[in-house]
């Protein structure tokens, strides 16, 4: 089974062109149907979550462990055929055996979860800190749960209040809809000081970056996981004056096992985020559902 995300939509619509024809899809779990010669990490029949990126393994970045930054990285479903198909072919090092007793459905969001596990680690969150998540989509609702697990109190900031009930169910201590007053005032009220200690930005728009910088306190940390493609205005005077640390966080390095552990332990709940299911033969409807405001994660059963 596969999850559908904004990247897939962009490839499908043509907004994010790739070398067509291409089978998109990069968030998936499944069982191993066949292995090549010399494969030792997995066996036929194993249940695995797939890490859909692999690096060259030879460049200085790879050798120092920064394989997510490798300039020759291959992204499954973007550079090579992906998972909106009955079968997909990936290197064995991309396959992470599923913990026993955990349903594939629960593991379906391992890929986006690994993204936020890394982002929260980059923020070096300490227990008792105040935090804000910008964005109420899949990444935001996962980041909220990981922050909580690290002992932080979480304010969820989103353009719409549609997801706030679910956010609270998943542990958000407070919510703020953009437009209902200044986000900075909301962060001050929530933290009881000049702003929150940590902000995780997940929306990937220039507006979200602006909000992240407005939410954080002087001396605080902002981690950006979204990829705004438009030029993004940042008032660097205020970054310097307030000694704000801004860090980028790009996909994941070694976070897949951690992400699966969080799901297996029940610490992160993924099922409430999957709002739609379609068969592979209804993939067009799945893409249409992704555009509906009420959908969070649209999933596809490929077999
Ligand atoms: Zn994705
Ligand atoms: Zn490399």
What parts of the chain have a pLDDT lower than 50? none
Nearest Cα residue to 248 out of 263, 237, 234, 268: 234
Q: What does the alpha-carbon distance between residue 155 and residue 266 come to, in Å, rounded to a whole number? A: 21
- pTM for the model stands at 0.96
Ligand that lies nearest to the alpha carbon of residue 59, given by its number in the listed order: 2
pLDDT of residue 179: 85
DSSP sequence for 63-88: HTT-GGG-TT-EEBTTTB--SSSS--
The span from the first CA to the last CA of the chain, in angstroms, equals 7
pLDDT of residue 13: 96
Collapsing DSSP to helix, strand or coil, 100 comes out as coil
117: enclosing H helix or E strand: helix 110-122
Q: Answer yes or no: are the C-beta atoms of 238 and 244 closer than 8 Å.
A: yes
CA 250 / ligand 2 centre spacing (Å)? 15
| Cis status of the peptide bond prior to 21, with omega within 30 of 0 | yes
Which residues make up the environment of ion ligand 1, defined by Cβ < 5 Å? Answer: 5
DSSP 243: T
Q: For 203-221, how does the pLDDT look when each residue is reduced to its tens digit (9 = 90+)? A: 999 999 999 999 999 999 9
DSSP 77: T
pLDDT of residue 6: 93
pLDDT of residue 228: 83
CA 68 / ligand 2 centre spacing (Å)? 8
Q: What does the alpha-carbon distance between residue 180 and residue 31 come to, in Å, rounded to a whole number? A: 47
Tell me the angle at which helices 110-122 and 138-149 cross, rounded to the nearest 10 degrees.
50
- Look-up: residue for tokens 């970054």? 239
CA 276 / ligand 2 centre spacing (Å)? 36
DSSP sequence for 228-285: --S-----HHHHHHTT-EEEE--S-SS-HHHHHHHHHTTSS--GGGEEEEEEGGGHHH
pLDDT of residue 229: 83
CA 128 / ligand 2 centre spacing (Å)? 38
pLDDT of residue 88: 97
């Amino acid at each position: 089974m596969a999850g559908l995300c904004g990247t897939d939509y962009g490839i499908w619509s043509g907004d994010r062109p790739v070398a067509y024809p291409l089978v998109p899809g990069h968030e998936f779990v499944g069982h191993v149907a066949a292995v090549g010669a010399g494969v030792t990490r997995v066996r036929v029949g194993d249940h695995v979550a797939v890490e859909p990126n692999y690096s060259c393994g030879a460049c200085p970045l790879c050798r120092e462990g920064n394989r997510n930054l490798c300039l020759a990285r291959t992204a499954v479903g973007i550079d090579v055929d992906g998972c909106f198909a009955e079968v997909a072919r990936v290197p064995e090092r991309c396959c992470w055996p599923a913990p026993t007793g955990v349903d594939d459905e629960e593991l379906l969001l391992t890929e986006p979860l690994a993204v936020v596990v890394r982002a929260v680690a980059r923020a070096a969150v300490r227990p008792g800190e105040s935090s804000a998540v910008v964005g109420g989509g899949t990444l935001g609702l996962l980041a909220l749960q990981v922050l909580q697990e690290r002992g932080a109190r979480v304010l969820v900031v989103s353009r719409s209040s549609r997801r706030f009930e679910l956010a609270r169910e998943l542990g958000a201590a407070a919510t703020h809809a953009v437009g209902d007053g200044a986000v900075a005032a909301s962060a001050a009220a929530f933290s009881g000081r000049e702003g929150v200690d940590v902000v995780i930005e997940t929306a990937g728009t220039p507006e979200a970056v602006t909000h992240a910088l407005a939410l954080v306190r002087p001396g605080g940390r902002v981690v950006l996981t979204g990829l705004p493609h438009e030029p993004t205005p940042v008032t660097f005077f205020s970054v310097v004056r307030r000694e704000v640390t801004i860090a980028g966080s790009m996909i994941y390095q070694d976070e897949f096992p951690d992400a699966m552990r969080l799901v297996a332990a029940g610490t992160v709940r993924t099922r409430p985020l999957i709002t739609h299911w379609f068969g592979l033969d209804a993939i067009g409807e799945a893409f249409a559902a992704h555009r509906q405001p009420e959908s969070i994660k649209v999933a596809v059963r490929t077999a």
